[in-house]
Structure 1
Amino acid sequence: MGFVQSLCDHSLFVMCKGDVLVVLLVYVDDIVVTGNSLPEITRVKSCLSKSFQIKDLGILKYFVGIEVLYSGGSVCLSQRKYCLELLNEFGYLGCKPVGTPIEQSHIITNKTDKDEKFLENVNGFKKLIGKLIYLSLTRPDISYTVQFLSQYMHKPCQSHLDIALRLLRYLKQSPGRGVMFRKTGSLDLSGFVDSDWAKCTKTRKSVTGFGVFLGGTLVSWKSKKQGIVSRSTAEAEYRAMCSATCEVMWIKNILTELNVNCTLPVTLFCDSKSAIYISLNPVFHERTKHFELDLHFLREKIASGIIDPQKIASDNQIADIFTKGLNVGKHSVLCEKLGLFDMFAV
């Protein structure tokens, strides 16, 4: 039929004939078809119906548990039904909501087996965290809390369950919240990256957090504990910038396959002046001699004009929501900057 399989995402197929673009996304037995030519989309669906027994459900409204809502020129991806079923399953449908997913002052304790009470029902905790992981597909505001709880799925304590149940109370506040995609005149990429140095008191590993925006809309985010101990804040921030650069390169390659030209360089906002100096300075010196070779690819991308690291004030760092617990005021402000919106609350 003229489709070419994407090299960046094997479930994505693209057909480009002149000015006509049709994109087909497959997940098991569900297919999403879109493009800029309605006759060509109709032809593709007709060809598929000749070879397979398919059912046309019309305009996209529900896909793998994600609700697609339309409002004017905007599209919102939400998991309201999934979230309400989760709250009902664990008996929190009528609970009192809280303003943040995790307490601002929370710390990762380093207690011994004698000091902490471990849960007997480990499977129930694993089931809850597994559902929360899937819910974070459209809820970047819970990413940090979910990645924190995911580290203790093999041997959870009562304190971890308390945080998970608090997260359910936070979800009760706005179960219909999701990521809003708005039409803009720009399709430029930009990213915000941050890290929390030595966050884990047991392993002393840092937390990486970043968000990538396409034309002002959040399209990718991550909150993850780093695999290696960093010796300084600058090193932890530098590792986070490398992770964000990998994600930016992947998104840029997908956009290239979709015939979307991104303006280079891609701006990467970081609040660590030291990490930016390290990335811009190719000189080998004592502070960076222990860095792994793969970390230096960031300098290569900067030298080739693909990435442009920029300093941003800590108060304006959107990626803070992916690396630490915040107070209610700042958490709400960052959720708004991320483009989160609850269409059911209107």
Structure 2
Amino acid sequence: MDVKTAFLNDDLNEDVFMRQLEGFKPEGQEHLVCKLKKSIYRLKQASRQWYQKFDETMKKQYFIKNQVDQCTYLKMSGSNFTILVLYVDDILLANRVNGILGLSQKAYIERVLTRYNMQHCSPSVAPVVKGDVFGSFQCPKTEVEKEQMRMIPYASVVGSLMYAQVCTRPDIAYIAGMLGRYQTNPGLDHWKAAKKVLRYLKGTKDHKLTCRRSDSLEVVGYSDSDFAKCKDDKKSTSGYIFMLAGGPISWKSHKQQLTTTSTMMAEYIVVYNATCHDMLLKNLITGIKLVNSISRPLKLYCDNSAAVSFSNSNSSTGAGLYLDTK
């Protein structure tokens, strides 16, 4: 098929084509392309084709897709149920022993430690402590310093930490996000902080997310924020976590987009963001049909009395934020 015809013909939009490989072009037919009968890796259509095939297969097995998170499927048969979670091309599988569900990344953490020659390091008691300061003032200033940092796999280590915190380690969410801010130009202080997190993971690699069987399933959220702790732009960092059956089910730590002028405003912003996520979780869990109390308002705790009072006042701010927690 001619290259121009293949890529410009509207009738062929659903088809996928690729150019002939080097060394396989017949003489006089170099302008032709190959039509693929199946999707292959590295094509932009491949991931979509894979999901459509997976979704079709799940429906044949009587799984119901969650409308909020379309990578979550539920299958119920009497009092038995199966929840299936799809992540790219992996499926999350878990079983309960004595009413306990645990998620661990011990094997992954051990591989990361070995990859960066930290498997024999001394464990650290905490990934970050009060008083630790990070900022662009710690970034390399001279070409010699920059060249020294080019030999250090800083971005790779931070990426490994982020993968761990996204899956099962909310305890390193703050420091992983903080270190990620300096990936374009990290300094030795940032690198030392990253290795400190690795040492912390060494001592806590057996830790796991644990949920226990309970007769009262209720989603409870907690939010918090520092105030203007970023040394570069004086912005605050927000954090929230939601618990169910004694274990965390969703969490986030991120720098706020607004520059706040008080601790109340910094706390109010994270309460607002947590409430938005709260509503998403409520819709998601409703589709799973396992938490009866989800029909009631979810609880969200904040440790700043001024932010709580302002939230309950049904008032609006100059920034255009509005929150009603009633």
Residue 26 of structure 1: CA displacement? 2.8
Residue 279 of structure 1: CA displacement? 0.8
Give the match for residue 173 of structure 2.
143
Residue 184 of structure 1: CA displacement? 1.3
Would the alpha carbon gap of residues 227 and 283 (structure 1) be closer, same or farther in structure 2, given more than 3 Å must change?
Answer: closer
**Residue from 134, 159, 178 that aligns with 2:208:** 178
CA–CA distance in 2 between the matches of 1:126 and 1:89? 14
Show the 5 A alignment for 1:223-262.
223-259=253-289, 260-261=291-292, 262=294
Does residue 153 (structure 1) correspond to residue 183 (structure 2)? The answer is yes
Would the alpha carbon gap of residues 180 and 130 (structure 1) be closer, same or farther in structure 2, given more than 3 Å must change?
Answer: same
The one-letter code of the counterpart of 2:109 is C
Q: Which moved more, 1:2-11 or 1:252-261?
A: 2-11
CA–CA distance in 2 between the matches of 1:109 and 1:197? 15
CA–CA distance in 2 between the matches of 1:82 and 1:100? 19
The one-letter code of the counterpart of 1:279 is S
Q: Which moved more, 1:23-32 or 1:150-159?
A: 23-32
Residue 243 of structure 1: CA displacement? 1.4
Does residue 25 (structure 1) correspond to residue 85 (structure 2)? The answer is yes
Tell me the SS of whatever aligns to 2:155. Answer: helix
CA–CA distance in 2 between the matches of 1:252 and 1:121? 45
What's the CA shift string for 1:287-307, capped at 9, x where partnerless?
A: x2x222xx31x22xx24xxxx
Does residue 267 (structure 1) correspond to residue 295 (structure 2)? The answer is no
Give the match for residue 127 of structure 2.
101
**Structure 2 portions without partners, runs of 5+:** 1-59
Give the match for residue 7 of structure 1.
67
Residue 103 of structure 1: CA displacement? 3.1
Q: CA RMSD in A?
A: 2.4
CA–CA distance in 2 between the matches of 1:196 and 1:15? 42
Residue 218 of structure 1: CA displacement? 1.4
Q: Is the 8 A contact 2:220 2:242 kept in 1?
A: yes
CA–CA distance in 1 between the matches of 2:84 and 2:128? 38
Does residue 75 (structure 1) correspond to residue 101 (structure 2)? The answer is yes
Larger-Rg structure: 2
CA–CA distance in 2 between the matches of 1:258 and 1:106? 41
What's the CA shift string for 1:32-62, capped at 9, x where partnerless?
A: 5xxxxxxxxxxxxxxxxxxxxxxxxxxx4xx
Residue 172 of structure 1: CA displacement? 1.3
Residue 283 of structure 1: CA displacement? 4.0
Structure with the larger strand share: 1
Give the match for residue 278 of structure 1.
310
CA–CA distance in 1 between the matches of 2:86 and 2:141? 50
The one-letter code of the counterpart of 1:26 is L
CA–CA distance in 2 between the matches of 1:17 and 1:97? 46
**Residue from 132, 155, 159 that aligns with 1:126:** 155
Would the alpha carbon gap of residues 269 and 291 (structure 1) be closer, same or farther in structure 2, given more than 3 Å must change?
Answer: same
Would the alpha carbon gap of residues 226 and 122 (structure 1) be closer, same or farther in structure 2, given more than 3 Å must change?
Answer: farther
Residue 10 of structure 1: CA displacement? 1.6
Give the match for residue 249 of structure 2.
219
What's the CA shift string for 1:251-301, capped at 9, x where partnerless?
A: 1111110113315222211111111111111245xxx2x222xx31x22xx
Give the match for residue 91 of structure 1.
117
| TM-score normalised per structure 2 | 0.73
**Structure 1 portions without partners, runs of 5+:** 33-59, 61-67, 304-346
Would the alpha carbon gap of residues 178 and 69 (structure 1) be closer, same or farther in structure 2, given more than 3 Å must change?
Answer: farther
The one-letter code of the counterpart of 2:306 is S
Q: Is the 8 A contact 1:122 1:153 kept in 2?
A: no
CA–CA distance in 1 between the matches of 2:134 and 2:142? 14
Would the alpha carbon gap of residues 91 and 20 (structure 1) be closer, same or farther in structure 2, given more than 3 Å must change?
Answer: closer
Q: Is the 8 A contact 2:221 2:240 kept in 1?
A: yes
Show the 5 A alignment for 1:287-298.
288=317, 290-292=318-320, 295-296=321-322, 298=323
What's the CA shift string for 1:56-80, capped at 9, x where partnerless?
A: xxxx4xxxxxxx5754221210100
**Bigger relative contact order (CA 8 A; separation at least 6):** 1
Does residue 165 (structure 1) correspond to residue 225 (structure 2)? The answer is no
CA–CA distance in 2 between the matches of 1:248 and 1:132? 26
